[in-house]
Structure 1
């Protein structure tokens, strides 16, 4: 069973959830449960002309939305509170084994924080809810996969957090994940932090002092890891097939290339949690919410990846 969290009730989450379920086979639909609000789903189904009847045509864990259905496309702390409850319920279901993987719809971090839930996004929230110190964000597309040593922090903080141990741990997490999805001997490359990996210290010594030792630590564990490699060439090499995974040192270093080559199809995967979670790699798109024009391809990819993870666990 795959659990889909509906996302922000005022965003495009409900409609891409409905469109994705519409396109499923009967068997896949029977193995799908939405964690959200039935009234909101029915309201959005009417807005976009979906023939689905939530709660009848597919399973819904119905959770309240204060004042719902909320106005579409409007930031609202009531939506932030609802989002937290959707995700919390899905996490507990995953921990209990009632669902095999969570697929999360898009949330609005400002609404979430306005409701008093102070997280930097899904990954931090899921780490907290499962009692983990942290998790890694991996963005996966057909030809390029990137795992991040840091994500939603300032660039200054990302550099301060860089350490050989953090680099090694990120490589480890990525290696384990790729093996799980069927890549027996992953080839992993670590991007340089500074231009040209510091050019022998001319542009900074972090690559030599912090990143290279972490790569060597991973290699000592038998992992095929290389780096640091200058980021201005590495992503092209990985996209062309030289590597299975790139370790990015900070948010934009990894997100920009993925969104350039796979904006509508990249999947966000949380690595290092005791439960499985995939997600769309886009936001709530308030400007088009409820208009029936939001693309659901990204959600379909996230669902397909979730089923792949479940199959890999049971293999």
Structure 2
């Protein structure tokens, strides 16, 4: 399916001590079985080769330019070097970890922005390691948004978790439940939903996206008796969206939104806080879920898991989420319209 791709995907190194190298090697080895689109790793070829040796894998690794990745992909794992060495052993981040991870992200963004790559797929990073090295962004997504800044304007990134049977978007993300309620506003719900609609149209090929907006409180507030937020914050957002021609419903009781029959009635569930969105999708597709960043001027996907230091280099890391992220990135890039 992907043999005619004109441009490869740029796959970041991620935290070199984590399972990123393990799942990258596994994905390349399974490229034919799973019809994986051509990609190249942005990072240190020596680090990848050492991990292959630890895992006992016979993988040819080729240092190449991005424009040579598609032709090289069939016979070798292509690596585009950043010029920085990554010396961390499995499960043990070291002084090279943060710099190599950041350089990989920066180069991947430059490659996709300048037309050398079709999309970005990011391997997991360890935020604690980056913070110790002076990284001042809350996470991966915010750093990507800053790198995507144009004319001084930073785009609003929106996190979507996707699998073939469900797509969910949390309006508030990595904050406490108390802070999520404090941050929630009609304006934030509307701006998030607008980005979702735009990207569902332009990158998922859905002409008329259907949104289901979850209520914040049990039973969507039970007409105000279980909290006023749904009437005061969520319902007005639904009315604004409907006034703009968006097929939006809600606020809906979250406890009845995610069974199989309900999922067929919408294209994306807009949820009010992190766990309201992530519990259902991780229950349905724990190993195959994909983290997608909407609202950026380029396609970015990622496996929906962390660095898993405890199993790095053991051969036990499951590449399913990375494989799904690679395939979805190629699909989105191919469908992309302006």
- TM-score greater than 0.5 by the shorter chain: yes
Match of 1:190 in 2: 213
**Residues 150-165 of structure 1 mapped to structure 2, 5 A cutoff:** 150-165=172-187
Cα drift, residue 74 of structure 1: 2.2
Which residue number corresponds to residue 158 of structure 2? 136
Match of 2:272? 249
Q: CA deviation at 1:120?
A: 2.3
Residue of structure 2 equivalent to 1:173: 195
1:305 is the counterpart of 2:328: yes
TM-score by length of 1: 0.93
Does the 8 Å contact 2:36/2:323 carry over to 1?
no
**Is the Cα–Cα contact under 8 Å of residues 165 and 263 in structure 2 kept in the other structure?**
yes
Q: Is the 8 A contact 1:77 1:112 kept in 2?
A: no
Please, which runs of 5 or more residues in structure 2 have no aligned partner? 1-7, 64-75
1:2 paired with 2:34, answer no
CA shift at 1:262, angstroms?
0.3
Q: Does 1:91 align with 2:114?
A: no
Deviation sequence 1:272-292 (CA, Å, 0-9, x none) = 011110000001111110011
Please say if 1:204 is aligned against 2:222: no
Residue number among 71, 96, 103 corresponding to 2:121 in the alignment: 103
The answer (yes or no) to whether the contact 2:290–2:324 under 8 Å persists in 1 is yes
Q: How far 1:58 sits from its partner (Å)?
A: 3.1
- 1:291 corresponds in structure 2 to 314
Residue of structure 1 in register with 2:3 after alignment: none
Q: TM-score, normalised by structure 2?
A: 0.87
Q: Distance in 2 between matches of 1:110 and 1:241?
A: 39
Superposition RMSD in Å: 2.0
Instruction: Give how far 1:73 is off.
Output: 0.8
Distance in structure 1 (CA, Å) of the matches to 2:277 and 2:21: 28
Residue 230 in structure 1 maps to residue 253 in structure 2: yes
1:60 is matched with 79
Q: Residues 30 and 58 of structure 1 are in contact (CA less than 8 Å); yes or no, is this contact kept in structure 2?
A: no
Pair 1:81-2:99 in alignment: yes
Q: Secondary structure at the match of 2:257?
A: helix
Query: In structure 2, how many angstroms separate the alpha carbons of the residues matched to 1:93 and 1:50?
Result: 29
SS of aligned partner of 1:270: strand
Given the alignment of the two structures, is residue 271 of structure 1 paired with residue 289 of structure 2, yes or no? Answer: no
User: 1:5·1:103 contact (CA, 8 Å) conserved in 2?
Assistant: yes
CA distance in 2, matches of 1:55, 1:239: 47
1:120 aligns with 2:142: no
8 A Cα contact 1:238 1:246, kept in partner: no
User: How many residue pairs align between the two structures?
Assistant: 313
Partner Cα separation in structure 1 for residue 144 and residue 271 of structure 2: 21
User: Are the aligned partners of 1:189 and 1:243 in contact in 2 as well (CA < 8 Å)?
Assistant: yes
How far off its partner does 1:234 sit? 1.3
Secondary structure of 1:168's partner? helix
